[in-house]
A = this chain, B = another copy of it.
């Protein structure tokens, strides 16, 4: 082949086949300082991996919640690993407020990018569609706008009398999620948790821990296919049973409310949080 036909257009390296690794190896593949996409509690959250990341001493994360966060985000904040937090809300659900989050806000320990759920989705959608921004209705008149340099009020190009917000694309460097199942080819079953599909499409890389690995292709079952994240979006898979404990996993196991309450009680103080993190392991 002559030079003219090899010089340009080479694969850009952003895309690879899926690696199968251990949870410990996966943790080593997530560096400090990145934009990290995470799932809401109970729908893809992975507190077990968050613990491993904290033990490894991960720092300076820009965390993107899809579109809200729970216990696993509060743990990362408590460990001082979060520099920037982009979310519509953080809470422990029925249990109440997220204690480390509230403390970090009060003490000014993180940069807060407060959003609203559909604006987070709009930002992720922009990344997934490869456009720099997305328009979204609402928001105008909200104080959220004042603190978001990545949002702007513009005119609707087809009706200049309408003001409308545009939000910038949100592209996580890595997203880390937990799912019920992957197959040996790297396809991952998400079911109707389509927001996790969106997160993976929007992210440069997606790392997935799963309850189990199927030896047959999930795409061979036409019933399942619509809820399967194809392997091309999945950089690595690790089998890690019960890794969503105590936050629960959609269609697999429920929230362990008592354990989340234990956490909430302990994390009221920095000392209590540290004691909880060193004292508790997992239900597995």
Where the two chains meet, the residues of A that have a C-beta atom closer than 8 Å to any C-beta of B are 122, 129-137, 150, 152, 154, 156-159, 162, 164, 166, 168, 190-192, 194, 221-227, 251
Nearest B residue (CB) for A159 = B132
Cβ of A191 and Cβ of B157 under 8 Å apart?
no
Q: Is the CB of A134 within 8 A of B132?
A: no
- Contact present for B164 and A157 (CB under 8 Å): no
In the docked arrangement, what's the CA distance between A154 and B156, Å? 11
- What chain B residues lie within 8 Å of A135 (beta carbons)? 131-135
**Is the beta-carbon distance between A190 and B158 smaller than 8 angstroms?**
no
Contact (A224, B223) CB under 8 Å given A133-B135, A133-B157, A158-B133: yes
State whether A191 and B225 are in contact (beta carbons under 8 Å apart), knowing that A154-B157, A157-B166, A158-B150 are contacts in the complex: yes
Residues in chain B near residue A162, CB distance under 8 A: 132
Contacts of A164 in B (CB 8 A): 131-132
Across the interface, name the chain B residue whose C-beta is closest to A227.
B226
| Cα distance, A277 to B135, chains bound together (Å) | 45
6 smallest A-B Cβ distances: which pairs?
A226-B227, A226-B226, A223-B223, A192-B226, A131-B135, A192-B225
User: Which one of A135, A152, A156 has the greatest number of beta carbons of chain B within 10 Å?
Assistant: A135
| Contact of A194 with B226 in the complex, beta carbons under 8 Å | yes
Task: Decide: A251 and B222 in contact? CB cutoff 8 A.
Answer: yes
Could you list 15 examples of A-B contacts with CB < 8 Å? A131-B136, A131-B137, A132-B158, A132-B159, A133-B157, A133-B158, A152-B157, A152-B158, A190-B226, A192-B225, A192-B226, A221-B223, A222-B251, A223-B223, A223-B227
Question: Known: A224-B223, A226-B191. Is A156-B137 also a contact (CB below 8 A)?
Answer: no
CA of A136 to CA of B135, assembled, Å: 12
- By a CB distance below 8 angstroms, the chain B residues around A190 are 226
**Residues on the B chain within 8 Å of A223, using CB:** 191, 221, 223-224, 227
B225 touches A225 (CB 8 A): no
Query: Within the complex, what minimum Cβ distance (angstroms) separates A30 from chain B?
Result: 27
Once the chains are docked, how many angstroms separate the CA of A131 from the CA of B191?
A: 27
